[in-house]
Structure 1
Amino acid sequence: MENNFYEHKRSTRLMRLFWKAAGADRYILERSTYGDQVKYVCLGGIIMATGVMAAIAGGYAFYTIFEPKGNAIDSFQTVSGIEGSYDRTDIATAIKACIFGLIWGAIIFNIDRFIVTSTGKGDGTEAITRKELVGALPRLIMGAIIALTISKPVEIRMFKTEIDVALHEKQIQQQQLYKANIDSIFKGEIKKKELTQERFFKRIHDLDVISDTLRSRIAWENSHGGCKGKCLLFIDQRKQNQEEKQTIENDPEFKKVRSELDGLEKERSRKLAESDKVAAGLDGLLERIKLAHEKAGWIISIFVTLLFMTIELTPIFFKLMLIKSPYDYLEENIKELIKANQGIEIKHNYYPDGEGIERDLVINHEVLKMLKEKVKLLETQSELSAKAIDAWKDKKLQDIEEHPEDYIAEQ
């Protein structure tokens, strides 16, 4: 039958995509009003936009967490001598972040789609009653959590320049603090070893001073009468000094102290060389979120979060505020037709349960029909089996009367 009072708008591929995202029925929408079509296009568009934002935020958060750590500000020098900064993108991490972002966006998209499609239309009026709000509360909480996870990575990207500068300052402070701690840890142990070593060095120094004095005396004696008497005594004493010095240098305790001191110096140098790595470790997602709150202030931070929360929760409130339209009546009609075609009857508020709440009675006529047929078939089969057994019994009794010898065993 032709429709002369209303011409349905032809749906485009983009409209059908948004309808699918909103969980709407294309068959019904194409037979509904243009206003209904636009409503579900907007609803699907918000859900898809949320998924895209989640993909971008998730990918950026993944990259921030797993990117190679370094100074928050990498500087370079231009031809004119002016220093600037640039971001070094790690390709491998960026590819992984893109893959994770797509997966995360798909997860959030499907969760949002489920939340919106599972949210009813309330009482069909624009007003959101307390009962509707309580019923939608679990979905609102889930939506708020999703909005929070999306807003924070976007927030740290919005204030990246300010965060990088503040983070660079904190990294320098952390580096200096780390070096001071390392020095304080090794200083006491090194001082002990140096004092022990100093005792050996002092004796060696004293022996060197005495040997130098003896060498001068020996030279003077040689120039004034030859090497004899005192000169030979000086030579012998100098020789003893050299032997004692060599004994000290070969002393196991002296060698052990020197070895331990060298080991401590090397270990301290190695620890100090790690100061850059320790400072770079400060560059994490949590630290950036903290700095974003410090630099942006709590008002702007809350505003950004509320902005994304509004985008995330709008579809839920939107559905609660929807007034019943031709699409809803057509959908209910099709549902009733499907139930009738499948032999499903629902008697609403048919009986109260133990808590006094009225419950619906669901009657599945198709199931009852199959059940009755099955019961009748089993009863008929039982009746036929009984008749067959009786007939078999009569036949056997007749055979016994005619040929009893066949049924008696000889002893």
Structure 2
Amino acid sequence: MLKQFFILCSGADTDILNDCSIGEQNKYAGIGATVFFTALMATIASSYALYTVFDNLYTSIFFGIIWGLLIFNLDRYIVSTIKKRDNVLDEILQATPRIFLAVIIAIVISKPLELKIFEKEINQVLLEQKNELTLANQNQIAEQFNPKIADLQGQILGLQSQIDTKEAEVNALYQTYITEAEGTSGTLKLGKGPVYKEKREKHDAALAELQQLKTDNKGKITAIENEIIALQGDYNANVAKTQPVIDNFDGLMARVNALGTLPWLPSFFIFLLFLAIETSPIIAKLLSPKGEFDYKLEDQDTTVKSWTMQQVAERKLLVKTDNDINNKVYTEIADEEEVMNYKRKKARELMQHQADAFLKKQKGVL
């Protein structure tokens, strides 16, 4: 049962192969098994690749099976169309386009499996790329907010500088009237005289101005700080909004690119393995000697070809003979008087009908 199934997978003519030896049947069963398991590997590889795209198990398996059937059909067609010939060079020329197609199929099958085999290494590369993208994204968003925040922070420093300047002025006035009272500067008279009072009043006025300045600037600074907090909130919101895009940066194309950054030798060996599997049925057919099945298939093909060519030749000869007979018959009766009179009568009737039709048409126009 299994042997017949693999023979069916090989694309061989079962009617002919059933009359061949067991060894010949086993050869084509082996070829069919290779075709079947190659299609099975294609199904697994495609399902995994599609799972990274759709992130849905059932959808991936469904389309993976369709892809596997497509590869199975292609491989079966490639193997079944290669026929043994008497000239090795003709066989190689016949197999060249099929080998080229097998190489393409091997690449398509091996790549998703490479992604699965080197999944841990690829995840590490993707993590590094995500970190770089995250930093680049944060810097890019920060460029939209940093100038505004820096300008607002500069305004806060300016307002604080006004307060500091006014405090320095008030402290200086305080020292002035204190030293005046102590008699260590100014009039150098101990006690609180008129000059002391004048300087004290000046200090008190400046102190009141300082308190008012602090009150006014504190409100302004609070408003500016709230504006900075709002900008920082907008920045964080933009970062949080764009971060999921970076977190999902692990699709099929990203994984293939990440695989390309890894050492090429392991991937190349996996590709060679699948190339050997994919081309093994073709190589087996090219290397194997012409067997019983090949002779019987050639006999069947040449029989049909010879019969078809014979039928075509007979039809051509029949047409040629019939034309020669017709030409000879028409030549012999061309000069008979009875035929000439009959043709003359019919020609006269035809001309009369034409004249009547022309007259009727002209009357209709008038």
Question: What SS class does the counterpart of residue 234 from structure 2 fall into?
Answer: helix
Partners in 1 of 2:24 and 2:129 — Cα distance?
55
Note if contact 1:46-1:311 (Cα within 8 Å) is conserved in structure 2.
yes
Note if contact 2:134-2:243 (Cα within 8 Å) is conserved in structure 1.
yes
Specify the alignment match of 1:183 in structure 2.
142
Report Cα offsets for 1:330-382 as digits up to 9, x if no partner.
112212222344x315xxxxxxxxxxxxxxxxx82254256458757986998
Of 12, 15, 21, 1:33 maps to 21
Q: Cα offset for 1:30?
A: 1.1
Of 149, 155, 171, 2:130 maps to 171
Partners in 2 of 1:396 and 1:303 — Cα distance?
88
**% same residue:** 28
Of 330, 350, 358, 2:296 maps to 330
1:152 aligned onto 2:111 = yes
Change (3 A) 1:247 1:285: closer
Q: Cα offset for 1:15?
A: 3.3
Partners in 2 of 1:322 and 1:328 — Cα distance?
11
Output the aligned Cα RMSD.
4.7
| TM-score under structure 1 length normalisation | 0.60
Note if contact 1:21-1:48 (Cα within 8 Å) is conserved in structure 2.
yes
Partners in 2 of 1:131 and 1:177 — Cα distance?
59
Report Cα offsets for 1:90-143 as digits up to 9, x if no partner.
xxx22221122122112222222222223332437xxxx566434432222221
Change (3 A) 1:42 1:242: same
Specify the alignment match of 1:357 in structure 2.
none
Report Cα offsets for 1:285-340 as digits up to 9, x if no partner.
34434544666x43322211100000011111111112112211111221222234
Of 272, 275, 280, 2:247 maps to 280
One-letter code of the match for 1:344? M
Specify the alignment match of 1:267 in structure 2.
234
Matches within 5 A, 1:218-367: 264-274=231-241, 276-292=243-259, 297-341=263-307, 343-345=308-310, 364-365=312-313, 367=315
| Alignment gaps of 5+ in structure 2 | 167-203, 349-366
Of 81, 102, 106, 1:118 maps to 81
Partners in 2 of 1:344 and 1:288 — Cα distance?
58
Partners in 1 of 2:116 and 2:212 — Cα distance?
72
Change (3 A) 1:110 1:199: same
Partners in 2 of 1:177 and 1:247 — Cα distance?
37
Partners in 2 of 1:375 and 1:289 — Cα distance?
70
Note if contact 2:160-2:217 (Cα within 8 Å) is conserved in structure 1.
no
Question: What SS class does the counterpart of residue 86 from structure 2 fall into?
Answer: coil
Report Cα offsets for 1:188-215 as digits up to 9, x if no partner.
33212443466568779999xxxxxxxx
Partners in 2 of 1:282 and 1:154 — Cα distance?
20
Specify the alignment match of 1:101 in structure 2.
64
Name the structure with the higher helix share. Answer: 2
One-letter code of the match for 2:99? L
Question: What SS class does the counterpart of residue 364 from structure 1 fall into?
Answer: helix
One-letter code of the match for 1:116? V
| TM-score under structure 2 length normalisation | 0.67
